[in-house]
Amino acid sequence: MAFTFQINNDIKFNHNEDLLAKAEANRPTLKHTVVKPTDLVDIVADSAAFNGFKAVSNQQAIENLPKYTLKKGGKLVLDFGDHQVGRFSIDIDSVGSPMDAPLYLHLTFAETPAEIGVEASTYDGWLSSSWITEEYVHLDVLPAKLSLPRRYAFRYVEIEVKDTSPKWQASFSNPEVVTESAVSMDTVPSVKIDDPMLKKIDEVSIKTLHDCMQTVFEDGPKRDHRLWLGDLRLQALANYATFNDSELVKRCLYLFAGMTTVDGKISANVFTEPKPQPDDTFMYDYSLFFISVLSDYYTQSQDMTVLKELYPIAKRQIDLAIAEVGSDDLLKMNEDWPVFVDWSNEIDKATAGQAILIYALKQFVDMAQQVEPTAVQHYQKLVASYSKAAIDQLFDVQQGLFVSGPNREINIASQVWMVLAHVLDDQANNQLMSKAIESLFPVTGIATPYMYHHIVAALFESNHRTDGIKLIKSYWGKMIELGADTFFEAFEPEDLNFSPYGSPIINSYCHAWSCTPTYLIRKYLVN
Amino acid sequence: MAFTFQINNDIKFNHNEDLLAKAEANRPTLKHTVVKPTDLVDIVADSAAFNGFKAVSNQQAIENLPKYTLKKGGKLVLDFGDHQVGRFSIDIDSVGSPMDAPLYLHLTFAETPAEIGVEASTYDGWLSSSWITEEYVHLDVLPAKLSLPRRYAFRYVEIEVKDTSPKWQASFSNPEVVTESAVSMDTVPSVKIDDPMLKKIDEVSIKTLHDCMQTVFEDGPKRDHRLWLGDLRLQALANYATFNDSELVKRCLYLFAGMTTVDGKISANVFTEPKPQPDDTFMYDYSLFFISVLSDYYTQSQDMTVLKELYPIAKRQIDLAIAEVGSDDLLKMNEDWPVFVDWSNEIDKATAGQAILIYALKQFVDMAQQVEPTAVQHYQKLVASYSKAAIDQLFDVQQGLFVSGPNREINIASQVWMVLAHVLDDQANNQLMSKAIESLFPVTGIATPYMYHHIVAALFESNHRTDGIKLIKSYWGKMIELGADTFFEAFEPEDLNFSPYGSPIINSYCHAWSCTPTYLIRKYLVN
């Protein structure tokens, strides 16, 4: 995920060294593979292509790369055949007279063709331009191996010779990427998926998750490189269904648990380099999802040690969340601790927030039954009263849909989260989603796979299997049709050129919160 | 030096491993000092300043550097107080919220304020833009020490924050340069120079030479980094008068000697990284200067071993040079082996070339007397016949000046080199330069300190001491008045903004062939 900026750098944080030591003890050893490019391509403007550009093979075998000599202004684009996360290197030599000036190169790493096609200097969005993955490099002496120190996420690498001299040209050989991930692709159990599109979606989901699993569950390996709690929840679920690396989930739980505010509140995300550090950004639903991630982890691993150790942190989250509820048993909106739900600021999020509170509260009660049975009754009562308040005050019986906010707005997020929280019984849930399909489909104005995940999950949870499959195919399948090697951070099917940042070059095209179809397929459709 | 491009990459070269091993054995161990900046400055446009820009102290003590925080677009300029050649490093941290995006920096290294003041992207000259000493750097994790791997020549460093994020700023501390040179400034014998301007010119000359003495005598530490034979000759002379590092001269002699063409011709320059390699550029006078450098080296060191070993190479140069002389005993101009004399292509160089041949031939005869006495007579005869041809055919008795080329052009270069070759007797030489002063001073259209050196040397050699001092002061002194910390590659007193490349940002402002005033002062004025 990525989000608008909160600046709260006066907030004081705890650093529980004991918990952080456990996070460190579960730091994965990254696995590496060496990948070579498969083709030389040209990036060509095409209004019909995704973001206006496509990659076209230049019909020269990649084996001919060393025969190319590039002078000032010369360019070539390597195609690595699939999305890669890792370190790039290439051998460079001079051809002609002796090298009488430095070689000046510009390299652009691109997950999609448009990131090369669109001129980087035109970017003027609100997110830092420092995320644009381009480098300028001077080499004083050739031959040399250029081994760039940074990790990149890319399929395509454009190499542009900014200058040589009239006396010699540059030549290139042996390009490669040494990939990095906490997990290996070959550890995923294969399952039988008959539908070829769903099978492909499952594969791309797994590749997306794989490339985001680094020393933490990153949101995106191109951009933010960061552990967000809401994203972690979905990544962990997809991980259980595929790589099943429970240590990495454990590490992330300890990272969040070890760095709460002095009041005990968990940040929306944490940084880990050069040392663990919490962000000063807080979101109501993300804090609650600590409970959800811990609960899911326990369900998956039956690891009572971790559950017992982190239960107090989870309890603190639920108690802080409850304090935001009014005497009418409804969540009050608080600008300083906003409910995220989705990037869209057009939708009212009060009812979705109420549902997420109930959703997390139910998972908390399950954990309390294991760890602190005496507490169960108190929280069970809250589940009941908050659910009752939701039904009494937020459910519009006439329309058969939940409303949200002072204007009694009807939006998809409210329905979806109420379904996922199972505030209604199964039959009413089914009717609710039928109504939602009738009134609110096709979904518009939603750009995040994160929200689309919850819509599909709600369809499956409410026994709308066919609609769930249809939405997976129309949303994630559409990305594949557009050439996705991994699933995107942001995607609006009704506006293919949508970017939350005003330019395709800053978008992340391998973003963890879009990896969930493998979880949905394997949970609801395969077993 | 630097020059127009010859491309002769079909020429075959010898690599005499025995001679190259001796070059390698004399590779110096570079000496290092740590230098810290002395001030924070602003670079300000000022039409009265050299190249239109000056550095003005921003009145903040350099100790306050760590207190500066720079956000997107923020800049600061470090002033290291004098010209430096070495590796730059600086500690960088983030201030504010956690670092949620990479830091993107642009660094510019500048010998003079204009190299920062003039926007680099405007450069469109014929020399490679890869020489512009700017870098773009992404840092993913702060705090970090940024240690740039390349060696730079600079006094000023501009640090520009291209982007951070709205949540944090960058701060900087502990900038330093670890300097590199083959020699130490404190090894130069101090001499008594009463005239304060000459004293300053002597100091700046020595600093210029020091900064160019690296693993070879480089032409310029900012730009070309290369060993040119004509420049070596002047550097070696200045070196004998100051650092007196004879091993570095020996190394350079062996580098040229070890890599002649299969015909025995010596290149105008050689490269040494990653391994010794001759350039495919040839200049008639530069090839002859191998004789001159070897002769000067022997005069200084009395090193008979080196003289004996390299004498055959010197002899080959003189024999190749003689083959270019016509039956009228005059040098014929050859486009494939041009006479350099000076950058200017406006002047006819035939007579200067004839004089340089005689100059080198006389030095060769001196060496032959030591090594091969039987050969002396042959070459002495040539000195006589070439000198006679010069006087008979090139000296215009009426005007009292030498003429050059089919149009009997009168230019300063012809007079100067005939004086230096002592083709006339001392009295006639004195008269010749009196005429030259009368007719050709003030010198115009000459942009190289290389040619100005020979003019001054000719003044001293012809007993025009006062005019020699005056010209040193008006040429090199003028550079000091303009703020020179070291002497420039190119300088035209009558056109202060002259650049051979069309932009001040590509000029080299510490260039070895301008270091000779210390030699001239110490040879002709001090002892």
Q: CB-CB: which of A100, A130, A165 is closest to B163?
A: A130
B277 touches chain A (CB under 8 A): yes
- Residue A511 makes CB contacts below 8 A (sequence gap 6+) with A208, A212, A219, A220, A449, A486, A487, A488, A489, A490
pLDDT of res. A498: 85
CB atoms within 10 A of CB B32: 13
Where does CATH 1.50.10.10 sit in chain A? 17-29+193-526
Q: What is the mean pLDDT of residues A210-238?
A: 98
Instruction: Using pLDDT thresholds of 50, 70 and 90, give the confidence band for residue B4.
Output: low
Q: Given a cut of 60, is residue A2 above it in pLDDT?
A: no
- The pLDDT tens digits of the residues spanning A403-438 come to 999 999 999 999 999 999 999 999 999 999 999 999
CA distance A132 to chain B (A): 10
CATH number of B200-526: 1.50.10.10
Average pLDDT rounded to a whole number, residues A202-215: 98
pLDDT(B2) > 90: no
Mutate to test the interface with B, among A167, A272, A503 (most CBs of B within 10 A): A167
Q: What is the DSSP string of A350-392?
A: HHHHHHHHHHHHHHHHHHHHHH-HHHHHHHHHHHHHHHHHIII
CA distance readout (Å), B507 to A140, A463, B1, B223: 18, 75, 11, 8
Stretch(es) of chain B classified as CATH 2.60.120: 34-179
Average pLDDT, chain A: 96
| Cα–Cα distance, A513 to A453 (Å, whole number) | 8
Q: Residues of CATH 1.50.10.10 domain(s) within chain B?
A: 200-526
What per-residue confidence (pLDDT) applies to B9? 74
Q: What percent of chain B has pLDDT over 90?
A: 94
- The shortest CB-CB distance from A163 to any of B130, B142, B163 is to B130
Q: What Cα–Cα distance (Å) separates residue B438 from each residue in A275, B412, B431, B432, B467?
A: 75, 11, 10, 10, 11
pLDDT tens digits for range A231-258? 999 999 999 999 999 999 999 999 999 9
Q: Measured between CA atoms, how close is A406 to chain B, in angstroms? A: 33
pLDDT in tens, A17-42: 999 999 999 999 999 999 999 999 99
* Both structure tokens of A114: 């448009």
Whether the CB of B162 is below 8 Å from some CB of chain A: the reply is yes
Q: Which residues of B touch A9 (CB under 8 A)?
A: 96-97, 167
Q: What is the pLDDT averaged over residues A204-217?
A: 98
Closest residue, chain B, to A104 (C-alpha): B130
Task: Determine the pLDDT at residue B113.
Answer: 98
Residue A61 confidence (pLDDT) = 87
- Chain B residues touching A8 at Cβ < 8 A: 97
pLDDT of residue B3: 52
Architecture of the domain defined by A34-179: Sandwich (2.60)
A-B CB pairs within 8 A amount to 116
CA–CA distance, B395 with B399 (Å, rounded to integer): 9
Report residue B107 as tokens.
């660094």
Q: What is the pLDDT of residues A282-319, one digit of tens each?
A: 999 999 999 999 999 999 999 999 999 999 999 999 99
Asked if pLDDT for residue A3 goes beyond 60, the answer is: no
pLDDT category of residue A527 using cuts at 50, 70 and 90: low
Please name the residue ranges forming H helices in B172-228: 196-212
Residue B225 to residue A140, Cβ atoms within 8 A: yes
Instruction: Indicate if the pLDDT at residue B125 is higher than 70.
Output: yes
In chain B, which residues have their Cβ closer than 8 Å to the Cβ of A72? 128
Residues whose CB is less than 8 angstroms from the CB of residue A11 and which lie 6 or more positions away in sequence, other chains included: A261, A280
Interface contact flag, B102 A130, Cβ < 8 Å: yes
Burial of A373 (0-12, 13-18, 19+ CB in 10 A): exposed
How close B479 comes to chain A (CA, Å)?
27
Which CATH architecture describes the domain A17-29+193-526? Alpha/alpha barrel (1.50)
SS3 A337: coil
Around Cβ B312, how many Cβ atoms within 10 Å?
12
With CA atoms as reference, report the closest residue to A246 among A256, A257, A235, A255: A235
Eight-class DSSP state of A429 = H
Give chain A positions within 8 Å (CB) of B271. 98-100
Best residue in B138, B140, B169, B224 to probe A by mutation, most A CBs within 10 Å? B138
SS3 state at A35: strand
Residue-wise pLDDT tens digits, B466-519: 999 999 999 999 999 999 999 999 999 998 888 888 899 999 999 999 999 999
Rounded to 5°, the CA angle B333-B335-B337 comes to 85
A467 pLDDT more than 60: yes
Q: Which of A479, A478, A458, A481 is nearest to A468 (CA)?
A: A458
Is A93 within 8 Å of chain B by CB? no
Q: Which residues of B63-89 are buried (b: 16+ CB within 10 A; e: fewer)?
A: eebeebbbbbeeebbbbbeebbbbbbe
Chain B nearest C-alpha distance from A455 (Å): 30
pLDDT band at B14 (very low <50, low <70, confident <90, very high): very high
Residue written as token pair 């005993």: B329
Q: Determine which helix (DSSP H) or strand (DSSP E) holds A299, and give its type and residue range.
A: helix A284-301
Nearest chain B residue to A121 by CA distance is B162
Instruction: pLDDT band for B6, please (50, 70, 90 cuts).
Output: confident
Residues in A closer than 8 angstroms to B150, CB to CB, are 138, 140
Minimal C-alpha gap between A42 and chain B (Å): 25
Mean pLDDT of B242-266: 98
